[in-house]
A and B are shown apart, each in its own frame.
Chain A
């Protein structure tokens, strides 16, 4: 019972934790901005949304419209890191960072987002994974 009353917990995968806002709320057709905190395990990085190698898998955050209409996902400026395997620096995110998305509110409900990422350390890579991110939407008059 306590679990149900608790705000939406951080959505956890192996090396990446995504923390959405507790909810987005406002009037119908209002546009609100939501910040999503992403936290990588120490020693790991994910490719940015714009990796500079055709074989690298980019970070993607997509939404299915429903309770709200999602706008563009804004990523922070990636880090350019030099790794032994690459002749040129690789565009990555590591540590804690935020993405931001604007939502036009439609109705009370839950938005479902999908975050696809591929994480590596300097010794090992994990297969690409997709985590589901839930965002409660509250529309009031």
Chain B
């Protein structure tokens, strides 16, 4: 049976993609947030930070948040911390924040020296079992939730994942907002 011109073109395109022939801009990202319709609201909580200030997840509405449950005794968590420091620096001005929730039972006496030693530049809160339960138990650390600007959980990671996975998700969520704002601005401009 003779192949149609379309079939030949499709086969050629598939072969080119399989051979790595797609350009950088066309490359499929390693990690992608859940589709907007599949996201659930991040459970609200209120905890204290190292200065004793009460902090709510609600305070971050409108921002992309990387909510990281960790502990000082967690080795894999220590691998991620320098990444989170870098993300906080790089994306803070674009509407992004890292929020660490320490699950150390010993409290600030243990956590504060660790924050100083690791030079952590993002906000860290002292967690408890109630907040852990809200987020599915948090039986393993690190457990990280990437939350979109609407306060919905766009990605969940249990255990150590790669820096690029996190960064891909953060960038996509930040870009998603920019697109939406751009569309809104455009619509508003067009209505005048």
**A interface residues with partner B (beta carbon < 8 Å):** 47, 55-57, 83-86, 90, 118, 120-128
Chain B's interface: helix, strand, loop or mixed, by majority?
Answer: loop
Report yes or no: A122 in contact with B76, Cβ–Cβ below 8 A.
Answer: yes
**B interface residues with partner A (beta carbon < 8 Å):** 71-79, 103, 105, 110, 114, 139-142, 158-160
Report yes or no: A57 in contact with B76, Cβ–Cβ below 8 A.
Answer: no
Residue of B75, B105, B110 touching A125 (CB-CB under 8 A) = B75
- Find the B residue at minimum CB distance from A125: B74
Nearest CB in chain B: distance from A29 CB, A:
39
State whether A126 and B140 are in contact (beta carbons under 8 Å apart), knowing that A85-B78, A120-B75 are contacts in the complex.
yes
Report yes or no: B73 in contact with A124, Cβ–Cβ below 8 A.
Answer: no
Report yes or no: B110 in contact with A124, Cβ–Cβ below 8 A.
Answer: no
Q: A83: which B residues are within 8 A, CB to CB? A: 75
Q: A126: which B residues are within 8 A, CB to CB? A: 139-141
Report yes or no: A90 in contact with B75, Cβ–Cβ below 8 A.
Answer: yes
Q: B139: which A residues are within 8 A, CB to CB? A: 126-127
- Find the A residue at minimum CB distance from B143: A124
Q: A122: which B residues are within 8 A, CB to CB? A: 75-76, 160
Q: Cα distance A126–B159 when bound, in Å? A: 10
Q: A57: which B residues are within 8 A, CB to CB? A: 73
Report yes or no: A124 in contact with B76, Cβ–Cβ below 8 A.
Answer: yes
Report yes or no: A85 in contact with B73, Cβ–Cβ below 8 A.
Answer: no
Report yes or no: B79 in contact with A124, Cβ–Cβ below 8 A.
Answer: no
Q: A47: which B residues are within 8 A, CB to CB? A: 73
Known: A120-B76, A126-B139. 19 other contacts (CB 8 A): A47-B73, A55-B110, A84-B79, A85-B75, A85-B77, A86-B78, A90-B75, A122-B75, A123-B76, A123-B159, A124-B140, A124-B158, A124-B159, A125-B75, A125-B141, A127-B103, A127-B139, A128-B73, A128-B105
Report yes or no: A123 in contact with B74, Cβ–Cβ below 8 A.
Answer: no
Q: Could you list some 12 contacts between A and B, CB below 8 A?
A: A55-B72, A55-B73, A56-B73, A85-B77, A86-B75, A122-B75, A124-B76, A125-B76, A125-B140, A127-B71, A127-B103, A128-B73
Report yes or no: A124 in contact with B114, Cβ–Cβ below 8 A.
Answer: no
Q: Cα distance A92–B140 when bound, in Å? A: 19
Top 3 A-B residue pairs of the complex, sorted by shortest distance between their CB atoms: A124-B159, A85-B75, A125-B74
Q: B140: which A residues are within 8 A, CB to CB? A: 124-126
Report yes or no: A125 in contact with B79, Cβ–Cβ below 8 A.
Answer: no
Q: A56: which B residues are within 8 A, CB to CB? A: 73
Nearest CB in chain A: distance from B127 CB, A:
11
Q: Cα distance A56–B106 when bound, in Å? A: 12
Residue of B78, B103, B105, B141 touching A124 (CB-CB under 8 A) = B141
Q: Cα distance A90–B78 when bound, in Å? A: 14
Q: Cα distance A67–B84 when bound, in Å? A: 52
Q: Cα distance A85–B160 when bound, in Å? A: 11
Q: Cα distance A123–B159 when bound, in Å? A: 5
Q: Cα distance A57–B73 when bound, in Å? A: 6
Report yes or no: B160 in contact with A123, Cβ–Cβ below 8 A.
Answer: yes
Report yes or no: A120 in contact with B79, Cβ–Cβ below 8 A.
Answer: no
Q: A127: which B residues are within 8 A, CB to CB? A: 71, 103, 139, 141
